[in-house]
Structure formats: structure tokens, C-alpha cells
Structure 1
Amino acid sequence: MIPRLTGRTSQDTRPAPDGFDRRLIAPMILGSVLNPINSSMIAVALVPIGIAFGAPPAETVWLVSALYLATAVGQPVIGRLVDMYGPRRLYLAATALVGVAGLMGALAPSLGVLIASRVLLGFGTSAAFPAAMRLTRSEAERTGQDSPAGVLTALAVSAQTVAVIGPTLGGLLIGASGWHLVFTVNVPLSAACLVLGVLWLPKAEPAERHQRMDLPGMALFAFLLVSLMLFLMDPRLDRWYLPALTLLAAAAFAARELRVPDPFVDLRVLGGNGPLIATYVRQFLANVTSYAFLYGYTQWLEEGRGLSASAAGLVLLPLSGAALVVASLTGRREAIRAKLLTGAVLQIAGCAALLLFDAHSPVWVLLATGVLLGIPQGLLGLAAQNALYRQAGPERIGSAAGLLRTFMYLGALGASAATATFFPHRADTGGLHGLALFMLAGSALLLAITLPDRSLARLTPQPRQAPRKA
């Protein structure tokens, strides 16, 4: 049995406040925004990087895919290590890796080295979210105040905000001193995380020595996930061997995890936790729709509607603005089932609205649809975080949180594949309507698996008695 992590230990003699230790919020938020800022800034750097190395878009796109692949694998793996050894060690080691990767990218002599630095960035940015979930759980246990909605909202809103401003920030950095600054900025961010982490993250008791790392299980999980994601990035009949390898790796992974005493993913517990599995499926479906809209709608605005790139960017602002406002206003109330149902219904309405679009649709309709589909982004992300916090076992909250992010990235890659399918040559209106029907089906499925799930209504804060002081 793994010892329960508490907010303060014998190694940490600072007096702990009676409520949630707000000193934890700064390192939690700063660490959690490292991934979205690196995911979004690279969008405006792909063209200048391609010019610098003489690389076509088919090669520079790996700067995006490499981060997704590394993060999708790294989140649950590092989350499991957070569960075993505590959040402080993994947070400090991973954020230090971010600084190394940033420096490596800034000095990269070739595109290959640059892609390698993005892989390291993916792993380095994978610890903060599982660590934040673990810290939130341990603070609830220490204080007896089980109401994490405000903290989880701060994490979600900060990540969304950074994702919105990331391209603008990247453009300013590139304009100031070239694309290298998009990587160099990770060095001071890493240093700030290290300082805040050393000062304020609590030292946790070490895990019991009999708890072993399931390295073969982690390797099999990474193999099946990479083969699946490589296929989703470019699904073609001549790449049939990738899903075949995925199935073989999944079978081997399941056979091992059901046999070993300390599995990486406890399939016996996960298999008996239907509500948590449903949360992962909902996370996947919600992000397939949101990313398909982001990728496909943006391309259609430029090619099908005839807007310039800058005008298309302005039309997308209401999407991000609506998500931020809704997350900020509703974050402190968990209301998980209500958020999921409202988000699914609004996604259906927004996808249906896309079926009415043509090359002459007025701008106000474009803006209104962005708002309509931005609201679910704010609701569904918060609902998934809060549901996972309530449904996952306390001893595996880190790895469970990492898997939630993995399903988000799988949704993003599925959306990318769908966009490529419906826009084989150019983003015309017929392709947009086909993509809208695909999104509509996913949103309807999201509603269908949420509506009968009465367990969601029971996911409410359970007050606990705070431990007595000696």
C-alpha cells in the first residue's frame, strides 16, 4: 500500500495554513501552462523555421506532432511516478528538463535536433498537471475541506488563456529576434518553476520500497499509443500495419497488467470503474469536436469564405473569449452533469449551424457560431477535470489525470485526421458540411452517454474531518 501523501511532512517544518495552502497555486499554474504555451507558440514559428532549415511543411509539421506524441505518452507515465514518489520530485525534474529542451531548441543546428527538443519539451511539460491534481487531493485530505473547484478552475482558465495568447506572444518574440526565442523563453519559465517549486512545494514521504515501477508495462503502453497516434496522424490503407501493431501491443499490455502485482495501469480497478472510463470517453468525444472545429473551420474561413489569415484569426477570438468567460463564471460550482449536458447540447446546435454556412455567410453569423461552440469548451473541460477528481482513486490520481490528457490528445489527432479526410484538396463548403456531420455525430454520442449517467449527479464534495492536531 502506498502511504497517503499529506500537505506537510516531518521533512517540512513550515506551519501549514488551516485552508488550502495558496502558496501551492503559483507553481501549480506556472507548471501547467508550460504545455499550452509550447503547443500554441509553435504555430506561428513553423514557416520561419522551414525557411531557416529549407524544410517543407511535411517535415516541419513534426514539430507539432512530436510534442503531442511525447505528451500523450508522458502524462500517464509521469503521473504514475507522481503517485509513487510524490509531486515535488517529478515536478522539479520535469520542469528542469523544460529548460534544457528550450536551450537545446534555441541552439539547434538542424531540424532533427529541433524535433528532438520538442520531444523533450513534451516529456518535461507532462508532470505539472498530474502533480497539481495530486497536490489538490493531498490538501483536501490535510484540511478536510474537499472543495477543489476553485483550484481546478484556476488551472483550466490559465491554460486556456495561455493557449489564446500563445500565437500572439510567439509572433512578438519572432518579430523581436527570430524563431529561436520561441524556444529560449522556456529557460526563464523553467527557472521560475524550479524556484517556486523548491520554495513552496511540500516534501512528501517516500514511497514504500516494495512498490516497483512497471517498466515493461510502461514500454508496452508507450508502444501501443505511439503506433495508434502515428496512424491517426495520417490514416491510409497502406499503413494498415500500424493499427495491427496497436492491437498486438494492447493485448500484450492487458495480459501483463492483469498479471503483475504493481501494474502501471491497474486494469482490474479501472475495469470496475465504469464512471471513470465514461469520463475518458467523454473527454475524447468532446475534444474531437472542439479540435475539428478549430482546425477545419479555420481552414474554411480562409479558403471557403475567402478571409485573410489575420481576419480569420479575429473571427476565432469569440470562440476563445466565450470559453474563458464561461469557465471563469461557472468554475466554482462543480455541477458536473449539468455542464456536460449543456455543453453537449450546445455542441450539437453549433454543428447543426455549420450545415447552413456557405461562401457568403455574413460575418456576424460566423462570430455567433464561434461563441456558440466556445461555450462548450469552457464547460466540458471543467466538467472532465472535476469528474476525474471525484472518480479516480486517491492513490492513483496522478496517473488517472495523465490518462485524461492522453484522451484529449487522441481527440485532437482524431480531429486532425477527420479534417484531412473531408478537405482532401482544399477547404471548400462541401467539405465543411461533411465535417459538420462528423462533429454532429460525435456530439450526439457525447449527449447519449451522458444523459443516462445518473452517477454524475452524485459527484458532489464530501466533507472530511480534518486531522486532529497533536
Structure 2
Amino acid sequence: MTAPLLLGSLLNPLNTTMISTALVAIGHDFGIGAARTVWLVSILYLASAVAQPVLGRLADSIGPRRVFLAGLVVVAASGLVGVLAPGFGWLIASRLLLGVGTSAAYPAAMAVLRAESRRLGRPTPRTVLGRLSFAALGSAAVGPTLGGLLVGTWGWRAIFAVNVPLALIAFGCAVAWIPKDDHAAAPSEPAGLDPLGIVLFSGALTGLVFFLLGLAHPAWWLLIPVAALSAVLTWWQLRCPRPFIDLRMLGRNHALARTYLRHGLAYLVIYCVMYGFTQWLEEGRGFSSLHTGLLMLPMSVTALVCSLLGARTKGIRAPLSIAAVLLTAGSAVLLFASGATPLAVLLLAGACFGIPQGLIGTSNQAAVYQHAPADAVGSAAGLQRTAQYLGAITASSLIGLAYGQRADDGGLHLMAAVSIVLGLVLVALTVSDRALRARNRK
């Protein structure tokens, strides 16, 4: 049963990072700079940030297997659109579809595991959750290396093509091994999806993304509709019987809210490196896509190893604290990186970011599973990914502001300085969290 869940869950994080070593090649082919190619990153995160909690709610209401299979069909379609894309706009459309399709797997997988746990009458083992986290984190970690190999061997279109066979294999495994949903949705259930809340959230988030991506020349007027939509969204969520985002629950469940905050901040720093560092290696240091992917290998390997170690760790606070410290230290290394920096130092910096990737995802996933309401684990898992993608969207905006048309030393140092400040904030949030300390005493 877990095999298709693992395969489906790796598609979204794999595609979020695999594109990093293809951005320069895509930009050269279409004659555009980093400020525009970053939209290939942002559009997937924007789609995923909205789709994850929506599809998580669908998994809770109409059945996770249905949602899981439908998402894989959309993934395969997105791969075909990307392979055949005649222009940059078609690539944007492909990534939009990819964001929606891949968003089904993780919340549906969490809902399947919770349903199986209820059937067996015992909680889901931490090792099973660890495998799910390993699939997601491992695929995100190896994404730059795999992307570099694909681009260097077959060109950047291979980044999109690889999704077709992966989606088809996952679909076949899911049909064979995931238990059928044990109930059919009642006609009234779709109303519980809160379409107005989804529209308001999507509008506010889209406006915010457009503002962030234009920080070089800020369109301040965009903040007016963003603020208005956010206010109406808050008002509606507090009054809706089944809100899209349960603000009352989050207001009572401080531990879950802090988990979302930690997760978003951590991935803001991680994705600044994932995209900003790789572009700098290619344009600032002159490495090829293949060599850049190989240089990111230490980060990939350490992330894989640490995700396994994190799954075997009983506590949550210790691994999260270690991760926050290493994110700060790695950012400090990049603050002094230049064209003359020894290769060994660059490899060390990559490893400093690989360890947190492995520890943060596993530990925060365990925290969400522990603190989320039992009947809403799918939507809670979706909101965790939404927090992650909000961090990633902010990271891509910072990259566009720092680099402009070319990735240079000055832009890298700006991102590193911001990442140091965020890393210190993350350390403080983790160390001071009483819920994490209480968890360690159990």
C-alpha cells in the first residue's frame, strides 16, 4: 500500500527542485533573464499553496484514493504540455498543471495512512511516516543533481518529460494496491469545500505573489486588494461552518500554528539556496548544468541520510534546533562566497543545507500528525505544504530582486544576509517552543 503513496508523494518536491538546474538553459533558449524564469518556480508554488489544502479537504470528504488517482492524471498531462511547449507561456501552463496535479499525493497519502490506522486500531508507526517524509525530502534533495543530469544529457525538456512515466507507474501501483475508498461522497459534501474561502485565499495569495515578484519596482497598489481580500477571508473563515482554513482551530491549537510558521521560515531559507545558489554556480562561477548538479550532490546525500535518521528520532525539538543552527551557519558561509572561494568550501556549504532538509521535513511532519485533528489530517497536511510553498514563493521573489538579469556575487550575498537573519529567528522560535520541550519529556 505504501509504495504508490511514496512514489506519488515524491513528484511535487522533485519538481520543485529539479527545475533549478534548467532555469539558465530555458532562459537562454527563450532569450529571457532570471527575473522571468523564476516564474517557473513561483507558479508551481502558487498552484500548490492553494491546491494542497483544497485537495486535502477533498481527500477527507470524498476519499483519498479518488483524489490521488485524479492528481496523477493531471501530472501526466502537464508533462506532455511541457515537452511540446512552443513558447515560454506554455511552460508556465505546464508548471501550473503540475502544481495542481502533484498537490494531491501528500495530503491524500496522510489521509490513507490515518484511515488504515483507524482500521487496525493502532497509530501509524513513526517509521512509516518517516518513509513518506524520506520520499518527499529525498526527492527534493536529489532534484538538482537529477535535473543537472537530465539537462546535460537530453536538454531541459527532459525535466518535463520525466513526469509522464513516473505518473503512469504511480497510477498503476495505486489502482492495484491502495484500498478503495469505503464511502461515497454525499451530494451535499462538496459544499463543505468552502468555495468562497478558496476564491478569497487564491486571490489574496496571487496578488501577494505578483507584488513580491516585482520588488525591484514595487507595485504598492497591489497591497490594497491583498489587504482587502485578506480581511474578507478572515471574516468569512470565522463565520463559515466548514471553513477552508479553520482559523478558530489554529487559534486554539498554538502548537500546530507554530509548526506551520517554523516550516515556512525554514523552507524560505532552503529554497533561497536551492535556486539562488545553483544559478550563481552556473552564471557566477561558470559551471555547466551537469557540474552544478554534481556540486549539489553533498547536499542531496546528507539530506537523504538525515531524513532517515530523523524518522528514527523520538524527539522533535532537538533535530529542529540542530537544523536551524546549520541553516544559519550555511548562510554565513555563502555570505563570503566569491569567484575565488575554494570548491571544498562550496561543497561544505551545500552539506550545511542538506542536513536541515532531512531533519526539518521529518520532524515537522511528525508534529503535524501529532497536533492535527483526527478527522482533518488531510487538510492539515495540505496546510503544512502551503506554509512550505509560501516560504518558497518568498524565496523566489528574493532571488528575482537580488539577481535581476544575472546571478552575481552581490545578489548571492544579499540572499545570504537575509537568510542569516531568518535562521536566527528560526533558532529562537524552536528553542522557545514549550510544546516541543513537552514532547521531548514524554
TM-score (norm 1): 0.83
Q: Distance in 2 between matches of 1:313 and 1:184?
A: 18
2:122 counterpart SS class: coil
Give CA-to-partner distance per residue, 1:328-360, whole Å, 9 cap, x none: 223122411111111112222333344454543
| Deviation for aligned residue 1:399 | 1.3
| Deviation for aligned residue 1:449 | 1.5
Q: Distance in 2 between matches of 1:284 and 1:369?
A: 21
Indicate the residue corresponding to 2:134 in structure 1.
157
Please tell me whether the aligned partners of residues 343 and 375 of structure 1 are also in contact (alpha carbons under 8 angstroms). yes
Indicate the residue corresponding to 2:259 in structure 1.
279
Indicate the residue corresponding to 2:52 in structure 1.
75
| Deviation for aligned residue 1:388 | 0.7
1:390 counterpart SS class: helix
1:139 has 2:126 as partner: no
| Deviation for aligned residue 1:140 | 2.4
Indicate the residue corresponding to 1:416 in structure 2.
396
Q: 1:198 aligns with which of 152, 172, 175?
A: 175
Alpha-carbon distance change, 294 to 82 in structure 1, aligned in 2, over 3 angstroms:
same
Q: Which moved more, 1:248-257 or 1:159-168?
A: 159-168
1:263 counterpart SS class: coil
Q: What's the % identity of the aligned pairs?
A: 47
Please tell me whether the aligned partners of residues 7 and 170 of structure 2 are also in contact (alpha carbons under 8 angstroms). yes
Q: 1:232 aligns with which of 212, 219, 225?
A: 212
| Deviation for aligned residue 1:414 | 1.6
1:341 has 2:317 as partner: no
Task: Report how many residues are paired.
Answer: 438
Return the index of the structure with the highest Cα Rg. 1
Please tell me whether the aligned partners of residues 147 and 293 of structure 2 are also in contact (alpha carbons under 8 angstroms). no
1:33 has 2:10 as partner: yes
Indicate the residue corresponding to 2:32 in structure 1.
56
Alignment of 1:323-342 (within 5 A): 323-342=303-322
Q: 1:126 aligns with which of 63, 85, 103?
A: 103
Q: Distance in 2 between matches of 1:118 and 1:126?
A: 12
- Amino acid in structure 2 at the alignment position of 1:145: R
Indicate the residue corresponding to 2:296 in structure 1.
316
1:406 has 2:386 as partner: yes
Q: Distance in 1 between matches of 2:337 and 2:434?
A: 36
2:97 counterpart SS class: helix
Q: Distance in 2 between matches of 1:350 and 1:199?
A: 44
Indicate the residue corresponding to 2:278 in structure 1.
298
| Deviation for aligned residue 1:127 | 0.6
Indicate the residue corresponding to 2:346 in structure 1.
366
Q: Which moved more, 1:83-92 or 1:325-334?
A: 325-334
Q: Distance in 2 between matches of 1:299 and 1:98?
A: 26
| Deviation for aligned residue 1:242 | 2.4
Please tell me whether the aligned partners of residues 36 and 163 of structure 1 are also in contact (alpha carbons under 8 angstroms). yes
Please tell me whether the aligned partners of residues 326 and 356 of structure 2 are also in contact (alpha carbons under 8 angstroms). yes
1:252 has 2:232 as partner: yes
1:246 counterpart SS class: helix
1:214 has 2:194 as partner: yes
Please tell me whether the aligned partners of residues 263 and 364 of structure 2 are also in contact (alpha carbons under 8 angstroms). yes
| Deviation for aligned residue 1:443 | 1.1
Q: Which moved more, 1:390-399 or 1:296-305?
A: 296-305
Alpha-carbon distance change, 314 to 258 in structure 1, aligned in 2, over 3 angstroms:
same
| Deviation for aligned residue 1:445 | 0.9
- Amino acid in structure 1 at the alignment position of 2:140: A
Q: Structure 2: where are the runs of 5+ without partners?
A: none
Please tell me whether the aligned partners of residues 38 and 396 of structure 2 are also in contact (alpha carbons under 8 angstroms). no
The CA RMSD measured in Å over matched residues stands at 2.9
1:266 has 2:246 as partner: yes
Q: Which moved more, 1:157-166 or 1:383-392?
A: 157-166
Q: Distance in 2 between matches of 1:417 and 1:51?
A: 20
2:243 counterpart SS class: coil
Please tell me whether the aligned partners of residues 136 and 148 of structure 1 are also in contact (alpha carbons under 8 angstroms). no
1:229 counterpart SS class: helix
Please tell me whether the aligned partners of residues 387 and 459 of structure 1 are also in contact (alpha carbons under 8 angstroms). no
Give CA-to-partner distance per residue, 1:267-325, whole Å, 9 cap, x none: 11122111111111101111121122233333444565665655444332212211111
TM-score (norm 2): 0.88
Q: Which moved more, 1:303-312 or 1:231-240?
A: 303-312
Indicate the residue corresponding to 1:450 in structure 2.
430
| Deviation for aligned residue 1:37 | 3.2
Q: Which moved more, 1:211-220 or 1:185-194?
A: 185-194
1:204 counterpart SS class: coil
Q: Distance in 2 between matches of 1:106 and 1:303?
A: 25
